[in-house]
Structure 1
Amino acid sequence: ARGHWSTWPAFASGQTVLKSHKPCCAPGERMSSNKQALLTIPKPRYLEQLESYLRKELQYLDLTKRNSQELRLQPYREIFEFFIDNFKTYKPLLSAIKNEYEATLAHQKETIHALEPLKAMVATVSEECSQQILALQEKEKVEINMLKQEKQHLLKFIDNMKEEKSSLQTQVEHLQTSVAEEYARYLNEYGARKLLLAKLNDMHNEQLNMKRHQVQDVKGEDVVKLTLALKIARQDLTKAQLKLNAMIADYGDVVPRRDFESLEKKYSDLQQETLRKDFDQLRKEYQTLLEIQRETAEERDNFFTELQQAQRSCTPRPNWAKCSEVIPGGADRWGCLAEGKTSDQLVDVLLEEIGTGLLQEMNVFPGWGKGDKVPIYLRHEGEVKNKKLTKKDVVNILKDIWKEKIALEQQRPVLPEFFLSYLQRKYGDTSAMEWSYTLYENMRLCPSNHVMSSFYDILTGKVGNLFGPWNTCILLMAMREAFPLKRQDSIQELIDASRYKLDCTEELIDYKSLFKEDEEGNPEPFVAKIRSQYIREKQEYLRELRNNLGDLIEVNAEDLKAAFCTIDPDIDDQTLDTYVGLAYQVGREQTDQEVVPVDTALERLLAGDVRRVGPAAREESKTDCVEE
């Protein structure tokens, strides 16, 4: 409630009259009298209301609670706010003072709240430290007790040592006394011995003098002369020894003349005998060489006569090197084509090159007509366009025809009809004859290519169909197709193995019988030969790998891969990883950290399926010369 504002006790000074006012009294007496007068003035009504309100509020509070101080502060805060509201003039200043106090109290509360966990932590740490101190004190007590016991033990040990020292000191003193007595006794004995030795020496000298006088009296020789003679004799002995050493050094390697002459005679006799034997041997060899020379001269004359007769009766051998000037590719390609071929084969090669060259220049082929004698795949009237295919294109087309024909084995189609139907189906009826004539002419002019020559022979009826019994030519073509990396001698071994049951006059081979097994599961010689060749080729392949590795004892994955790529450049990454995995018997990601002995790696590869992927380097150099 708002009360009436008064200036108590200031307003009372103008209304109150002091009863006993003395003008001449001292200032101190006057002040005390003023205080007494003020106490008699009644309080302002608003002040009494505020004090009454404060007393009531304080009575209502429960000061037994934990936050009693904050509860007690609240009535005072309200009284102060009432006071500020009524004090209009100083309200801003008083409000600022109050707010500052409130902010300070809030800050102090926050600080107290922040410090309460620290207080708890300090209490906890203090308790822990107290416990640690107690534990350390207990531990130190134990250690102190142990040290005290050790101290007592050491003190006892020191006492024992002192007693032992005193005992030893007594013994040392006793021994020193004994040693002094013994030393005095030995010293006396030493003096007595010296005196005795002196007496003995004197007696010995006297005896020597007596003997010397006796000798001089008997012989009458002077000792000085004897000493001088002995000295001269020793000098002569030294000179003689020096002379003897010089003689040995100068003539140690000299042979006596008698021995020298005897040895010289033996040497001359032996030399003459050796020379005589050598001369006889050389004479015999010379006579033999003369006979050989005579026979060689006769053979030379005979060969010369035969040569003259052959030159007169035979035509001169052609100079095949001239062909390199007209063959595409020059001397290098002609050298590859002519290597290891006879004159008849060289004629075929030359005709093939000339024919293929002319074939590329032709734009059209003349038609064969539509007669019954004309093959079905060449029945056409008029000119046919030349497709100008390369050997590679022709071989690929023929291989595709073979694959489709093999897929239709049960229907047993005839090759000429199938050949025409394939071309019609793939290139259309209008272009089929163009492809047929082009393929036919290429096959006819290229007998050196086994694919084209074999297809041409079957197409023209020179050999039978591939289905059913095969002849040697068809089997040869099939094996070259199946084993392109085999050498000619290996192919011939397989041909011989396939004909082991045939007579010399039989040509047809039942290819299905080559893969049969007997009752015990043993394969036919053809399959056994393929297996033996596979093992042999694998051993050669690994032997070449071993030679490429050189003198290495252990090999890592990178070196092994490099060796494989060197001996087999056409090997692919997947096959290479497979071979390396076989050698190391680990996964692909673990081979980089592995190192194994070379012999172990080769044994593992020999046990696995390892074979050459591409032709060897020397074989590639030959095949590169044959251009498509």
Structure 2
Amino acid sequence: MVNKTVCWTGSDYLYAGPGRKPRFLRQLESYVNRELQAINPHEPELQELRLQVYRDVFGRFIEEFKTYQPLLCAIKKEYENTLVYQQLQIRDLEPLQCHLRLVTEECDRRVRARWEEEQALEREKQQLQRDVEAMREKETVMQALVARLQSELADQYLLYQEQSDAHESLIAKLHDLTSCSVKEEEPAHENTGEDKDPVMLRLALRVCREDLTKAQVELNRIQAEYWDVVPRCNWETLEHTHQQTLLQLERLQGDFDQLRSEHDTLLELHKRDSMHAESDRSVTEQMDESVRHQQSQLQSNLLKVLIHSDASESGALTVQEFRAALRTAFPLKSDQAIDALVASAESELDSSNDTIAYQRLYSLGANGKNGEFLSLVMRQSLEERQLYISQLRVQLGDKGEVSVSDLRGALMCVDPALDSDALDWSLSLAFQVNQWADYGKVKEEELNQCDTPLDRETVLQRLVSVLPRQD
């Protein structure tokens, strides 16, 4: 702080000739340079500390120039109020920026996961299609093979039948020749008693040998032509295997169709669950946003009351004036709660006199967090909401499920001063009716159309985000 005990009456203290700085200006510049050098650039509240140095210098400047003091004080106050308002706005926007970043990352992750899942399903589909095509090609080849074997078997069977008939015909001819030779030899032997004719025997032997040679040639030809013919037992086995393959192909096709149907069903269920999850997440985010908005509104209203109570526009109030301002801002709070707020403000500011610099209460928070006083205000508000919910629970009694009319009656009993817009807004949050409507824009007919009762605890938990009364 600039030394306020210095009193300089020379003409060069405030004014100086050309090319020279007044002594008062040199003192202020020396103080600013000394204080700024003493600030650690790595401290988290660097900008706040630098601003405080210039606040002190500006205050010393105002004290020195008595004539312009009212105007300069008014300028300083407006800047301070604007700075506090901007800090509140920044605190409100920081959670939204963080939430937007988290939502963006989650959406990107889900898009990548959905894309990878679709790629895996596409690869599986293509593999199944390749398997089906391979089985169909195999079936076509086997059907062609079976048709060719059947044709060859029919040809070979006809040829075999012809050869068999020819062979039987030769055997019959040989048998006839042999019978004739025996009949001719027997009468000659009986009648003449002479030996058999060697010429006839040689002739019969030659005919037999010729027939035997022809039979051997025919047998060799048949063996040469039919050595690669499939036996009937093997053909029946092949036919049975083919039928089994066709049955297996039909089962695989049925399994594939069932798998595809189940996959489509699971995909539809997954999409439906995703839509429900998105809806539930939207409701939760809306409730959280409502809580943050009400907390910010509560702080802003309190600051307006404190500024209005500051008649001297000095940025500070006496303890009694501060207590009266709190009573004006929170008319329903108990004396114990007001005393706790006053004690918290004095402790946070480490005030040793009978004044409270209320503007500093809004600028002492670090890293976007509230100070001790504002945190106590928020805790008291939360406790009042919990008490409000407890009173509603008592009014609802032992009902497991409540309707819109039940909750409307309980709210009016607990808080008779609740206006119609606030009442309809609370009911819309509890029953999730027209969730995207703004405050005061919920239509009563939309609430009346919601005739489905809900679980009592679910409704009360949704009402936690609603302020119990307009303090």
Same fold (TM over 0.5): no
User: Relative contact order, CA 8 A, sep 6+: which one is greater?
Assistant: 2
Give TM-score, length-normalised by structure 2.
0.31
- Higher radius of gyration, 1 or 2: 1
